Amino acid sequence: MSGALWTSAEIAAATGGTVSQPFEVTGVTFDSREVEHGWLFVAMPGTVADGHDFVPGAFVKGAVGALVSKPVDGPHVLVEDVPAALEALAKASRARMTGTVLGVTGSVGKTSTKEALAAALERRHRGKVHRSLKSYNNHTGVPLSLARMPRDSVYGVFEMGMNHEGEIRGLVAMVRPHVALITAIASAHIENLGSMEAIADAKGEIFEGLEPGGTAIIPNDTPWRDRLLKAARRHAETIRTFGSGDADVTAVHAVRADNGGSLVTARLAGADLTYNIAQPGEHWVSNSLAVLAAVEAAGADLAAAGLALGDMGGLKGRGERHRVSVGEGTALLIDESYNANPASMAATLAILGAEQVSGRRLAVLGTMREMGDHGPAAHAALAEPILAARVDELVLVGEEMAVLEEALGGRVPVTRVADAVEATAVLQRLLGAGDAVLVKASNGVGLASLVSAVAGGAAPCST
């Protein structure tokens, strides 16, 4: 079993399945495109395609076993229900984990904070920190992330998301964190939940899964702080707040650094810590305080965490930066194409406004989805942060952006287009040397394709 993530016997014991022949796996996936040599392929059912149809191809790519609900050619564990079996495997993984587990949720910043937190812990425990990959934070992504956790992990960091009430409750019951962190409360998913209070309550479900003696970490700078505190008191032994004012973890000093990030001195329970943040924007100061609060709660190394925050680059679709060749010069492209809501739009527009440019500030902004009846007002309200950021020209993507164009009233030149293809053509025509362009929308708008087309082979950069 040397180096094995799971043996077929362990998989069968966890899922109640039957082994066709013995095997050992070093990884797990339900996406046949991700299969690597030695992995387990989980044949999930689907509304469009059945994972069992991809089992032969998974074996060709190097899978050594499959989790299936009907017999297949090749080594496999046969179960009655594949999704239920994956959850059972996730719970078995969590049960054998003897280290510390941290859970992260929030309306904005949860993936970035999860990545920063994992990097902070990894600094001192190389190769022993497991985290959710990508944004695997839903009813299939969380059990997959758990099932992938190596048995000797010292820390596990898991992201949990939701669209409806009760979803985080189910996820956190599998994760069972020792430390549960909420990054922020914003109007993402308000179409489904109906009110900000309901969003706060849904995020607060993360505290229900805390292990005995666990710690809840709550943003201090939110109107729903007391609501979250009330939810946390039912389940947490310790509660820590982060942010400004009377927060337990707060920045006593924060200034813009030469690299565009920030130099921060934070006050924690045990000590003050001065550190650099590589990422620009005031929201990253808040993210860093959340990370430090979680690191302190986990009993990990704060100094190492500070060093990790200074080294962390931007994430694809969440602040990654590219220097794009334009004529005889370059332009800066800020990739925020993965997600958007009013809070994150305002934060990233402020970053664009703070950029020192020799050319113009451009923004390609797409629809913010899942706003429901709040959508028109939310889109129109973007006019204020756009003007504050001194944006020179806008490309607006989607019919919902018409209200924003109207709210701007001609104060900023606007080109409104239907989709990412048209937006790409417009930006390629507009972009000049010395310009900085922000690209941001909900993921479904598809502006990642614009980033790929415009950035081309440009490697990510720090400025």
In angstroms, rounded to a whole number, what is the distance separating the alpha carbons of residues 288 and 266? 9
Whether residue 374 lies inside any domain: the answer is yes
Q: Are residue 122 and residue 229 in the same domain, yes or no?
A: yes
Smallest CA-to-CA distance from 451 within 413, 414, 412, 397 is with 397
Whether residue 108 is annotated as binding a ligand: the answer is yes
Whether residue 461 lies inside any domain: the answer is no
Cβ of 38: how many Cβ atoms within 10 Å?
17
Mean pLDDT on 184-210: 85
Strand partners, 159: 104
Q: Are residue 330 and residue 423 in the same domain, yes or no?
A: yes
Smallest CA-to-CA distance from 76 within 17, 124, 131, 30 is with 17
Residue type, 401: M
Cβ of 263: how many Cβ atoms within 10 Å?
16
In angstroms, rounded to a whole number, what is the distance separating the alpha carbons of residues 455 and 170? 39
Mean pLDDT on 135-145: 90
Task: Indicate the number of domains in the chain.
Answer: 3
Instruction: Answer with the residue of higher pLDDT: 26 or 338.
Output: 26
Whether residue 326 is annotated as binding a ligand: the answer is no
Q: Are residue 381 and residue 408 in the same domain, yes or no?
A: yes
In angstroms, rounded to a whole number, what is the distance separating the alpha carbons of residues 92 and 10? 9
Strand partners, 104: 159, 181
The b-or-e profile of 428-437 (16+ CB within 10 A means b, else e) is: eebbeeebbb
Whether residue 351 lies inside any domain: the answer is yes
pLDDT at 1 over 60: no
Residue 435 belongs to what domain range?
320-455
For residue range 71-127, what is the model confidence (pLDDT) as tens digits? 999 999 999 999 999 999 999 999 999 999 999 999 888 888 999 999 999 999 999
Q: Is the CB of residue 343 less than 8 Å from the CB of residue 187?
A: yes
Q: Is the CB of residue 138 less than 8 Å from the CB of residue 161?
A: yes
Whether residue 91 lies inside any domain: the answer is no
Query: CATH number for the domain including 406?
Result: 3.90.190.20
Smallest CA-to-CA distance from 162 within 206, 118, 194 is with 206
Smallest CA-to-CA distance from 248 within 285, 296, 205 is with 296
Confidence of residue 2 (pLDDT cuts 50, 70, 90): low
Whether residue 183 is annotated as binding a ligand: the answer is no
Q: Are residue 113 and residue 196 in the same domain, yes or no?
A: yes
Whether residue 107 is annotated as binding a ligand: the answer is yes
pLDDT at 258 over 80: no
Q: Are residue 57 and residue 115 in the same domain, yes or no?
A: no
In angstroms, rounded to a whole number, what is the distance separating the alpha carbons of residues 448 and 253? 36
Q: What is the mean pLDDT of the chain?
A: 92
Q: Domain ends where: 286, 311, 336?
A: 311
Whether residue 196 lies inside any domain: the answer is yes
pLDDT at 193 over 90: no
Residue type, 381: A
Mean pLDDT on 345-357: 89
Query: Exposed, middle or buried: residue 36 (CB in 10 Å: 0-12, 13-18, 19+)?
Result: exposed
pTM value surpassing 0.85: no
Q: Are residue 220 and residue 179 in the same domain, yes or no?
A: yes
Query: CATH number for the domain including 127?
Result: 3.40.1190.10
Q: Are residue 252 and residue 109 in the same domain, yes or no?
A: yes
Confidence of residue 342 (pLDDT cuts 50, 70, 90): confident
Whether residue 89 lies inside any domain: the answer is no
Q: Is the CB of residue 43 less than 8 Å from the CB of residue 79?
A: no
pLDDT attached to residue 216: 98
Q: Are residue 220 and residue 292 in the same domain, yes or no?
A: yes
Tokens representing 115 are: 């990545």
Can you say whether residue 112 is alpha, beta or left, with left for phi > 0 and alpha for psi between -120 and 50 degrees? alpha
Q: Are residue 239 and residue 124 in the same domain, yes or no?
A: yes
pLDDT attached to residue 217: 98
Q: Are residue 296 and residue 339 in the same domain, yes or no?
A: no
Q: Domain ends where: 55, 80, 105?
A: 80
Query: CATH number for the domain including 75?
Result: 3.40.1390.10
Cβ of 9: how many Cβ atoms within 10 Å?
14
Whether residue 389 lies inside any domain: the answer is yes
Q: Are residue 187 and residue 101 in the same domain, yes or no?
A: yes
Whether residue 1 lies inside any domain: the answer is no
Whether residue 110 is annotated as binding a ligand: the answer is yes
Q: Domain ends where: 53, 80, 107?
A: 80
Mean pLDDT on 329-337: 93
For residue range 380-401, what is the model confidence (pLDDT) as tens digits? 999 999 999 999 999 999 999 9
pLDDT attached to residue 180: 98
pLDDT attached to residue 84: 97
Q: Are residue 191 and residue 110 in the same domain, yes or no?
A: yes
Q: Distances in Å between the alpha carbon of 283 and those of 2, 112, 348? A: 43, 11, 9
